[in-house]
Structure 1
Amino acid sequence: MAFEPIIHLMRGIQNRLNGSSLRLNGNVQDPKQIAFLRQLQKEMRQEFVLDIPLNELNVVVFDIETTGFYPNKGDEIISIGAVKVIDGKIAEDQAFYSLIQSNGEISKEIQLLTGITNEQIKDAPPLSEVLIRFFQYVQDLPLVAHHANHEKNFLQHASWLLYKLPLKHRLIDTSFLYRIADPQLNIVKLEDFCEYHQIPIENRHHALSDAKLTAKLWCIYIPKVQGLGCHTLRELYEQLALIK
């Protein structure tokens, strides 16, 4: 019959709409994954962490590598690495790392900087899958990153694009610690901070390696800021407000 192809087409569309997942920008969205994120955000107690002593505050220190600086202009996350700091110690046996599939080509400049090639990410998992695994790893722990605006912008963009959810994890910038403990230092780059503190630098611009370097700096600076009277995040934020 003449209408049969149209009926089959409409049924196919309806089946896809009613299926257990949908696809967005090459990423498969699973309602169970979105439900997990919604429940996680609902159970998060961000205010609670403000008054935990900093040396007892468990965190996830992470880093991302990207194809550029502007997620709203199409730049993408191509790897993410993280390590937990539990009871003041780096839990290297609980590290997280993944390459991420890109929808475009990685420039030669970024390939040289990160060591990540187009061939390597061709069969890597999509961002939607990696981010879910990352948040399962993080759970409700605060996030820490070196000069965190870059990471924050990309995670906020991805969370909204993929799941229509805001990023609700507390994200702590390591520069908060430096500004209080070493305000005289005119240092910005991660490698320069590491050299200043005689931390050996390995595999710079590898997301997991950079996360571990940042975690080492975190562990150095927590006792420093506590020695200056900032014993909790709340006190740290209050001190920062005075020096802005």
Structure 2
Amino acid sequence: MRMNHMIHYLKQLSGKVNPSMYASMQDQSNPHHISMLRQMQKEMKMKNTLEVPLNELRVVVFDLETTGFYPNKGDAMLSIGAVKVTGETIENDTFYSLVQSSTAPSDEVTALTGITVEDLESAPALSDVLARFYQFMKGHTLVAHHAKHEQAFMQHASWSLMRSNFDHRIVDTSFLIRIVDPKQRGFQLEDCCTTCGVEVKDRHHALGDAKMTAELWCYYVKKVQELGFTNLREVYERVARMG
């Protein structure tokens, strides 16, 4: 896509153009990694895990730390953390990486996450991190807590680097929580952990949050199976009826 077309597209998305976004796109586009990512995207589109029994389902539970909430307005990924889970068992297989960013974290974000400008300067480029993350999650369904946040940033990264949509399903833990406890309204990670007896540890560190989310996932996978649900299709159908 020519740059003037890209500028027009970005204006449509955010109403303004942030110069740091162009620098990020150019700096983080390793041709080898981009080729690998495109192939992995094609493979992911072929996966359908809706019918896999929940006690056999292989997932990668992941979390992103970011500079803010709006990737289309210049906010950027700072780190990715993930852990593999099969059924109700957390595996000893994790992923963690900082992400090089031309968007510096605010003082508030640094205080919250511990991630500094110096950390990001020496971090690998986004294309490298995503290539390794895609390889890590190959063959697994993605799971996240408040998945819209992760979906937005993965979608933005996919379009920025490859001009393609991120079509991989990300299952939100809140789907299971809503089925098990329909009256629950608050879904802050630490509150959910406290309710389930999960220790709150390393909060606002991508791998720490991923590990806590993995424990939540296992807890609620067991609960929904006790209620008679056997796969993700049944979970999605119930959530759709709940509105």
User: When the two structures are superposed, what TM-score results if normalisation uses the length of structure 2?
Assistant: 0.86
Of structures 1 and 2, the larger Rg is shown by: 1
Given that 2:84 and 2:93 are in contact with CA atoms closer than 8 Å, whether structure 1 keeps it comes out as yes
Tell me the equivalent position of 1:83: 83
Give the distance between the partners of 2:100 and 2:42, measured in 1 at CA: 29
What one-letter code is carried by the residue in structure 2 that aligns with 1:147? Answer: H
Percent identical across equivalent pairs?
Answer: 53
Tell me the equivalent position of 1:51: 51
* Residue 128, structure 1, aligned to residue 108, structure 2: no
Given that 2:65 and 2:204 are in contact with CA atoms closer than 8 Å, whether structure 1 keeps it comes out as yes
Aligned length: 220
Structure 1: runs of 5 or more not aligned: 1-22
Tell me the equivalent position of 2:66: 66
Tell me the equivalent position of 1:151: 150
Runs in 1 of length 4+ with deviation above 2 angstroms?
32-48
Given that 2:61 and 2:210 are in contact with CA atoms closer than 8 Å, whether structure 1 keeps it comes out as yes
Tell me the equivalent position of 2:29: 28
Give the distance between the partners of 2:164 and 2:120, measured in 1 at CA: 26
Cα-Cα RMSD = 1.5
1:82 is displaced (CA, Å) by: 0.2
Tell me the equivalent position of 1:181: 180
Given that 1:27 and 1:126 are in contact with CA atoms closer than 8 Å, whether structure 2 keeps it comes out as yes
Given that 1:29 and 1:162 are in contact with CA atoms closer than 8 Å, whether structure 2 keeps it comes out as no
What one-letter code is carried by the residue in structure 1 that aligns with 2:75? Answer: D
1:38 is displaced (CA, Å) by: 2.9
CA displacement, residues 100-150 of structure 1 (integer Å, 9 cap, x when unaligned): 111022100100111111121111111111111111111131100001000
Given that 1:148 and 1:172 are in contact with CA atoms closer than 8 Å, whether structure 2 keeps it comes out as yes
User: When the two structures are superposed, what TM-score results if normalisation uses the length of structure 1?
Assistant: 0.86
What one-letter code is carried by the residue in structure 1 that aligns with 2:26? Answer: N
Tell me the equivalent position of 1:9: none
Q: 1:33 to 1:105 in 2, by over 3 A?
A: closer
CA displacement, residues 142-182 of structure 1 (integer Å, 9 cap, x when unaligned): 10000100000000000110111211211100010011011
